[in-house]
Amino acid sequence: MKDHKDFHMTPEEFRLRGHTVIDWIADYQERIESLPVLSRAKPGELRAALPEEPPETGEDFEAVMRDLDELILPGITHWQSPNFFAYFPANASGPSILGELLSAGLGVQGMLWATSPACTELETHVLDWLVGMLGLPDRFRSDGEGGGVIQDTASSAALCALLAARERATGFLSDEKGCDGTLVAYASTQTHSSIEKAVRIAGLGSSNLRLIETDENYSMASDLLASQIAADREAGLVPCFVCATVGTTSSLAVDPVPEIGKICRDENIWLHVDAAMAGTAALCPEFRQINNGVELADSYCFNPHKWMFTNFDCDCFYVADRAALIRTLTVLPEYLRNRPTESGAVIDYRDWHIPLGRRFRALKLWMVIRHYGVEGLRHHVRAHVALARELADWITESEDFELVAEPLLNLVCFRHRGGDDLNMRLMEELNSGGRIYLTHTKLGGRVTLRFSIGQTNTERRHVDRAWDLLQKTALELEK
Amino acid sequence: MKDHKDFHMTPEEFRLRGHTVIDWIADYQERIESLPVLSRAKPGELRAALPEEPPETGEDFEAVMRDLDELILPGITHWQSPNFFAYFPANASGPSILGELLSAGLGVQGMLWATSPACTELETHVLDWLVGMLGLPDRFRSDGEGGGVIQDTASSAALCALLAARERATGFLSDEKGCDGTLVAYASTQTHSSIEKAVRIAGLGSSNLRLIETDENYSMASDLLASQIAADREAGLVPCFVCATVGTTSSLAVDPVPEIGKICRDENIWLHVDAAMAGTAALCPEFRQINNGVELADSYCFNPHKWMFTNFDCDCFYVADRAALIRTLTVLPEYLRNRPTESGAVIDYRDWHIPLGRRFRALKLWMVIRHYGVEGLRHHVRAHVALARELADWITESEDFELVAEPLLNLVCFRHRGGDDLNMRLMEELNSGGRIYLTHTKLGGRVTLRFSIGQTNTERRHVDRAWDLLQKTALELEK
């Protein structure tokens, strides 16, 4: 009795087209190495090729897949290429992609426990698993006063942490009266830009963010933090939030969390630890020292969508006191009231982040952990770190290049000895060649090349070839 | 030359498992009507069935799929069921699910134009298409000074609008100095709770949000808005932001945007129009009056992930002055610098929202529009509205039930004449029966049942049967 389904894709057609798309992705995975890593598209090129007006009537699926190949693909920078060494790892995997697919197919909203209990409970459960897997403090587990939630990104996690910090510091008065320009937040000069963004969004004002200088390893100088806090108190300001980073974006530097944590505890300041890029390493006991001091943190986050084979988005955010976070973010209108919420026996994750709606992201994380097991995840993290150390050795032995910092984990920061201009030209030459993609930063005021090893299918041969290319291209540019 | 891929899912295995998952979803679509709409899971039930510890070694894909059926599915509330009439439409579709799958398979980061030009350009292009499709003002198009971007939710869109409003009102000083407790925002008593959340997040303080009373249609009383603004100015406060709603959550009421827009223009206040739930209706010329006055808005959003056959998340957010939004949200650290960004010829969407990273969400929207064509989308929107009108007629004709408001579009607000308690019991009885799922609100202080018609496969027979069930169940409860 079909009365108005005429335009929908039927389950049978979905099955057919779905197999086509799965095959397309499997083929893409097989041929990705043959594609230029950085897209060569010019600004406006794709838009010029697209029709100015949307289609009045529906089009064949084949036409869409043809445009995917001919128009979209040339405009793609292949983050999943094993020759992608830019920015940060962003390693998807088969089980993760299929988890995302299932989540889209189920199409549930996880805003409340009641709107799909499995969506909430699987998330809480997997996030508790990860506390054990990473050796994080038990205070982040949901069976005490803490708990974890999946956020889209570490930017949003940091914002939520800052908001809870703001409210704790003002006895939940900022929430009601608004900010008054006296709250101060602290990070280092190497901290991710998302902290500045959060400080501006939360109404503290960028002038109330103190960027503490770092030591020779680009780690926050905790004595300078302490003296800055004292100076601010002296000036009648209210220190409320410190962000310590475990693995900075530029160089994967680790801030001295034990010292910073002690200061925060003494001063009653909220400590957020951002381990977005490096946190996954703690899967391996031999790297677990990066968690030192995290037991002093009020909140913590790391990104499975960076280095744990889980496609974007999936940031795991933990708090030690979930009541403070929930009180900061909760609003309960009549249309969301329901018995389980009122019973107090369930988690409603809408009160743990900015958006109200949320998808079933725990599914992909669960499927990744079950596919790899702890053993498999550890194996690949170790392999990436070993490759980074090998590359660092080659650089140390070379005459033309130098290491800028000893690689702690999977990021190698180095430069050609020929100066900033040569390094920038070298990077651009390599990236436009399409065989590898790497990016830069500035450390100590000088251009530094960053070589991030963490894509799913990156093997020794890719790093080896990249190192060859780097040397040869540098020689050509010096001619 | 495989040296460390041992634990990864190979492309061949992905192909095999991918077909399994596609078939699972197609089967799910075919049998979804036979499942209880609202999950019957008890709090903690799923967690009790899951192993306390994560697997040390990887598990078979079959085991995961078995747990999906046996453990996860009973904890799912089936939002994609044609018998889902709760909250709001959240209608996924085949082309959208496959777009999400492709996006996960490509696994790109769209934070900068350079990190995947197609991800940015397709988004700008499709959002320009939608301006025409919905008859929105040209000032939201990217070829002038405006432009659109995909956000996760209308909550995040409203927050971004409020932040830009805050900065425009203070000459970008709040961004630097922080809020000072003098900025005031306005919405109605019927406005979505996300506005209060945004006001608190942005540091204005909930006491600086004025909830304006509504008229008998639950639309904001614009004269009361004007007098409140005058009173606030009198008191030395700074009105900066008004949110008008086109389709409130409780009853799909439409605020008088032309009047509100005129007030905002005279007072130089940022006007944000939230059309999250109802905006899709403007695809049809006969419903386009809901856009009246939107030409006076500074920002606007609607949710294809609600009523436009696009799976969550996908909120389209438009601004008339993109420079104000970008200036509010931009931070440019060295590691994100690149030539295209510096050329000024491209859009970097990271500056248009809270997170830095972003997935390729335009792909699913593009695939939906191409699959249905404008004609197909209109057809289904009209069918939903027609069903709502039909149900409203049945209610009007009945002796036991009454309409609470004339349904403008696809939401029917009604109640049993037997009082609040009976209505709540009726709803709970129906929901626990599993054959339909609907939710409530309060209008005029009284419990009101909400019947939202907008799921992809909802047909006349589903609404018909639901109405039968409502009447029969009410009779039984009255016995």
Q: Are A142 and A124 in contact (CB under 8 A)?
A: yes
Residue located via tokens 């955010």: A317
Average pLDDT of chain B to the nearest whole number? 96
Residue of A nearest to B47 (CA): A121
> Could you say which DSSP state residue A322 is in?
H
At A80, is the secondary structure helix, strand, or coil? Answer: coil
The pair of structure tokens assigned to A137 is 């403090």
Which residue in A has a C-alpha nearest to residue B97's C-alpha? A104
Render pLDDT for B306-337 as a digit per residue (tens, 0 to 9): 999 999 999 999 999 999 999 999 988 888 88
Which CATH architecture best describes the domain B108-359?
A: 3-Layer(aba) Sandwich (3.40)
Closest residue on chain A to B111 (Cα): A87
Please list, residue by residue across B243-274, b when 16 or more beta carbons sit within 10 angstroms of its beta carbon and e when fewer do. bbbbbbbbbbbbbbbebbbbbbeebebbbbbb
Note whether A206 and A196 are within 8 A (CB). yes
**Interface contact flag, A25 B18, Cβ < 8 Å:** yes
- Cα distance between residue B403 and residue B450, in whole Å: 10
Smallest CA–CA distance, residue B269 to chain A, in Å, is: 19
pLDDT of residue B137: 98
Hey, are the CB atoms on B459 and A2 less than 8 Å from each other?
A: yes
Considering only CB atoms, which chain A residues are within 8 Å of B44?
Answer: 121, 345
Closest to B118 (Cβ–Cβ): which among A72, A100, A460?
Answer: A72
Full-model pTM: 0.97
Q: H/E/C letters for each residue in chain B?
A: CCCCCCCCCCHHHHHHHHHHHHHHHHHHHHHHHHCCCCCCCCCCHHHHHCCCCCCCCCCCHHHHHHHHHHHHHHHCCCCCCCCECCCCCCCCCHHHHHHHHHHHHHCCCCCCHHHCHHHHHHHHHHHHHHHHHHCCCHHHCCCCCCEEEEECCHHHHHHHHHHHHHHHHCCCCHHHHCCCCCEEEEEECCCCHHHHHHHHHCCCCHHHEEEECECCCCCECHHHHHHHHHHHHHCCCEEEEEEEEECCCCCCCECCHHHHHHHHHHHCCEEEEECCCCHHHHHCHHHHHHHCCHHHCCEEEECHHHHCCCCCCCEEEEECCHHHHHHHHCCCCHHHCCHHHHHCCCCCHHHHCCCCCCCCCHHHHHHHHHHHHHHHHHHHHHHHHHHHHHHHHHHHHCCCEEECCCCCCCEEEEEECCCHHHHHHHHHHHHHHCCCECEEEEECCEEEEEEECCCCCCCHHHHHHHHHHHHHHHHHHHC
Name the minimum distance, in Å, from the CA of A130 to any CA of chain B.
8
> Are A391 and A450 in contact, with CB atoms under 8 Å apart?
no
Of chain B, the percentage scoring pLDDT greater than 90 comes to 93
- C-alpha span between B83 and B453 (Å, rounded): 9
Chain B residues inside the 8 Å CB shell of A253:
none
Between 3.40.50.360, 3.40.640.10, 3.20.20.140, 3.40.50.1820, what CATH number should domain A108-358 receive? 3.40.640.10
| Contact residues on chain A for B205, CB-CB shorter than 8 A | 174-179
Q: What ipTM, to 2 d.p.?
A: 0.97
> Looking at residues B246-262, what average pLDDT do you find?
97
Q: Whole-angstrom Cα distance, residue B318 to residue B267?
A: 21
Out of A8, A179, A376, whose CB is closest to B93?
A8
The C-alpha of B224 sits at a distance from chain A's nearest C-alpha, in angstroms, of 23
Domains B108-359 and B368-478 share a fold: no
The residues that bridge with A471 in the sheet, in sequence order, are none
Q: Report chain B residues whose CB lies below 8 A from the CB of A64.
A: 95, 366-367, 370-371
Q: Which CATH superfamily is domain B368-478 in?
A: Aspartate Aminotransferase, domain 1 (3.90.1150.10)
Cα A147 from Cα A324, distance rounded (Å): 12
Taking alpha carbons only, the member of B163, B312, B189 closest to residue B248 is B189
pLDDT at A335: 81
| Closest CA of chain B from A121, distance in Å | 6
Q: How far is CA B237 from CA A133, A179, B272, B307, in A?
A: 52, 14, 20, 38
Q: How many CB pairs under 8 A join A and B?
A: 551
**Is the pLDDT score of B5 beyond 80?**
no
Task: Look at residue A412 and give its three-state secondary structure.
Answer: strand
Q: In 3-state terms, chain A is what percent helix, strand and coil (to 5)?
A: 50, 15, 35
| Widest distance between CA atoms in chain B | 77
Q: Give the one of A9, A13, A380 whose C-beta lies nearest to B4's C-beta.
A: A380
Q: Is B203 in contact with A77 (Cβ distance < 8 A)?
A: no
pLDDT at A102: 98
Q: Which amino acid is at A74?
A: P
Are the C-beta atoms of residues A359 and A110 closer than 8 Å to each other? Answer: yes
pLDDT bracket for residue B165 (50, 70, 90): very high
Q: Measured between CB atoms, which of B109, B354, B370 is closest to A156?
A: B354
Exposed, middle or buried: residue A449 (CB in 10 Å: 0-12, 13-18, 19+)? Answer: buried
pLDDT of residue A4: 45
Domain map (residue ranges) of chain A: 108-358, 372-478
Q: Which residues pair with A411 in a beta bridge?
A: A452
Span B231-246, pLDDT tens digits:
999 999 999 999 999 9
| Nearest-neighbour CA in chain A from B77: distance (Å) | 5
pLDDT in tens, chain A (479 residues): 344 458 999 999 999 999 999 999 999 999 999 999 999 999 999 999 999 999 999 999 999 999 999 999 999 999 999 999 999 999 999 999 999 999 999 999 999 999 999 999 999 999 999 999 999 999 999 999 999 999 999 999 999 999 999 999 999 998 888 999 999 999 999 999 999 999 999 999 999 999 999 999 999 999 999 999 999 999 999 999 999 999 999 999 999 999 999 999 999 999 999 999 999 999 999 999 999 999 999 999 999 999 999 999 999 999 999 999 999 999 888 888 888 888 888 999 999 999 999 999 999 999 999 999 999 999 999 999 999 999 999 999 999 999 998 999 999 999 999 999 999 999 999 999 999 999 999 999 999 999 999 999 999 999 999 999 999 999 999 88
Gap from B155 CA to chain A (nearest CA, Å):
5
Question: In residues, how long is chain A?
Answer: 479
Q: What residues of A are in contact with residue B122 (Cβ under 8 Å)?
A: 46, 50, 72, 75
Is the domain spanning A372-478 CATH 3.90.1150.10? The answer is: yes
Under an 8 A CB cutoff, do A105 and B24 touch? yes
Q: Do A450 and B359 touch (CB under 8 A)?
A: no
Q: In the Cβ-directed half-sphere of A99, how many Cα atoms lie within 13 Å?
A: 29
